[in-house]
Structure 1
Amino acid sequence: MQIKGSIAIVTGAASGLGAATAETLANAGARIAAFDLNEDGAKATAEKLGGVGYGVDVSNAESVEQAVAKVQADLGTPSILVNCAGIVHGERIVGRDGPADLAAFSKVITVNLIGTFNMMRVAANAMSQNDPNDAGERGVIINTASIAAFEGQIGQAAYAASKGGVASLTLPAARELARHGIRVVSIAPGLFGTPMLKGLPDEVQESLAANTPFPKRLGDPYEYGRLAMHICENEMINGETIRIDGAVRLEPK
């Protein structure tokens, strides 16, 4: 996939992995459609990159359908989608006050897993209308899983289940969309310096970094962005979940 001149939708683009990925793709010549529930944040990212920002609830069918239609009208049909939107919630299945909050569990699944699929289904439908390149490719979809999909910690039942679902979705989606010339790949980041982790006390951040074999630091969101860029450019990468984690493996707690 040639990035230069392509239309790229990036969700969760107001900050963190999404903002870094949007900037990386823009620097490679893509025109950016920045999606985020935080509309002001999405527009701020887009303005900096010469793109267009949209307030979008990825878990809502109508919101996503309308937003993708607006992208097609404003910029053109997308050929790249990077799903970075997501939330985290920590809670034990059985805590001091009783069983876990089912609504909180459901919300994490709704945003992280259903939201990812919602974006995939609408964007893939749009991509299928693209003229194929010389290799027959019409688009690439990159989803964000997590190392928690494989080594979820105590209190991460909802988050791990949501990201495990994203990882499991990768291969069947890639197989199904192959006939349209659309690739599907997931990235499973480890401990990254996103606003969520940067909000923790310095000593906690240092402890997390110390558990990473090498390099002994938190990941840089732009390292995620560069991997996403490489996936776009390398058409043989398909149907796989790629860890980017410095060889860290999460302990139970």
Structure 2
Amino acid sequence: MFAGFEAALVTGGGSGLGRATAQRLAASGCRVAVLDRSEEQAAAVAAEIGGVGLTADVSSSSSVADAFAEVTKAFGAAPRIVVNCAGIGTAARILPRDGALPIALFERTLKVNLLGTYIVMSHAAQAMAPLDPVGGDGARGVIITTASVAWQDGQIGQAAYAASKGGVASLTLPAARELARLGIRVMSIAPGLFETAMTAGLPDEARAAISESIPFPQRLGAPEEFARLVTQIVENPFLNGEVIRLDGAVRLAAR
């Protein structure tokens, strides 16, 4: 489906949005490396799609460098599609009622979500730069990151998460402008309320209340819909430097 873009790397590919993305890319004919902090989950998804399973800490440059080296060795070339789905969701008030400041949690959230995205992007660009350009536009690759609607609609208790995802969103345009000279596109998806392991465990009443807050379609997003947008971004060479909200027109309330 993606002429010249047959190899992909998906971080956070062991579950959720990352797993659905790895599955769809594989179904589209890509060789996919599934990177996750869980060795068991990465191996399971890789086995399912005939890909390569890798374990790495996205907040560690050396760990990510080793992962890219493994992917390049396994595929014979660096991946031209890199999708960063790795991240953590955290919740804490800036000043909790007990007065204990959650500064360490804020630091950890930014380290995984923002610094981790930057590290993966940096190593992806380094790996793609020497590749031969393909197609009439001279493309070398595409990097897709995962922000969140919380970067614009951050709720009470989401200061760390919203700040980290806001950083991911703000990184998109300057990165796209810088890497344009190399034929590397950079895009970001900001998902809204999606089916996740967390929402799956909620009571039916709670799930119904969440769904009712979404204008249309009035349901939680499916991971496959996120994955579909990833492939649409890969397919459309004029999509570059933008953050796309994928949210059913939802706008999060203050709490």
Deviates more, 1:93-102 or 1:168-177: 93-102
Q: Secondary structure at the match of 1:94?
A: coil
- Are residue 243 (structure 1) and residue 245 (structure 2) matched? yes
- Residue 148 and residue 161 in structure 1: after superposition, are their counterparts in 2 closer, same or farther (change >3 A)? same
1:150 corresponding residue in structure 2: 152
1:227 corresponding residue in structure 2: 229
The answer (yes or no) to whether the contact 1:4–1:28 under 8 Å persists in 2 is no
The answer (yes or no) to whether the contact 1:93–1:99 under 8 Å persists in 2 is no
Whole-angstrom distance in 2 between the partners of 1:233 and 1:95: 46
- The residue type paired with residue 181 of structure 2 is R
Deviates more, 1:1-10 or 1:190-199: 1-10
Deviation at 1:26, TM superposition (A): 0.5
1:70 corresponding residue in structure 2: 70
Whole-angstrom distance in 2 between the partners of 1:209 and 1:145: 21
- Residue 49 and residue 5 in structure 1: after superposition, are their counterparts in 2 closer, same or farther (change >3 A)? farther
2:58 corresponding residue in structure 1: 58
Deviation at 1:96, TM superposition (A): 1.2
Whole-angstrom distance in 2 between the partners of 1:98 and 1:252: 21
Whole-angstrom distance in 1 between the partners of 2:210 and 2:42: 29
TM-score, structure 2 length as denominator?
0.97
Deviation at 1:199, TM superposition (A): 2.7
Flag as ranges the 4+ runs of structure 1 deviating above 3 A. none
Whole-angstrom distance in 2 between the partners of 1:204 and 1:37: 30
The answer (yes or no) to whether the contact 2:4–2:134 under 8 Å persists in 1 is no
**Percent of aligned pairs sharing the same letter:** 56
- The residue type paired with residue 23 of structure 1 is Q
TM-score, structure 1 length as denominator?
0.98
- The residue type paired with residue 115 of structure 1 is G
1:159 corresponding residue in structure 2: 161
1:29 corresponding residue in structure 2: 29
Deviation sequence 1:113-142 (CA, Å, 0-9, x none) = 000000000011001111101221000000
Could you tell me which runs of 5 or more consecutive residues in structure 1 were left unpaired when the two chains were aligned: none
Matches within 5 A, 1:131-210: 131-134=132-135, 135-210=137-212
Deviation at 1:2, TM superposition (A): 1.8
**How many residues matched?**
253
Could you tell me which runs of 5 or more consecutive residues in structure 2 were left unpaired when the two chains were aligned: none
Q: Secondary structure at the match of 1:57?
A: coil
The answer (yes or no) to whether the contact 2:84–2:146 under 8 Å persists in 1 is yes
Matches within 5 A, 1:69-88: 69-75=69-75, 76-88=77-89
Whole-angstrom distance in 1 between the partners of 2:3 and 2:165: 27
- Residue 47 and residue 5 in structure 1: after superposition, are their counterparts in 2 closer, same or farther (change >3 A)? farther
Quote the RMSD (CA, aligned, Å). 1.2
Q: Secondary structure at the match of 1:78?
A: coil
2:17 corresponding residue in structure 1: 17
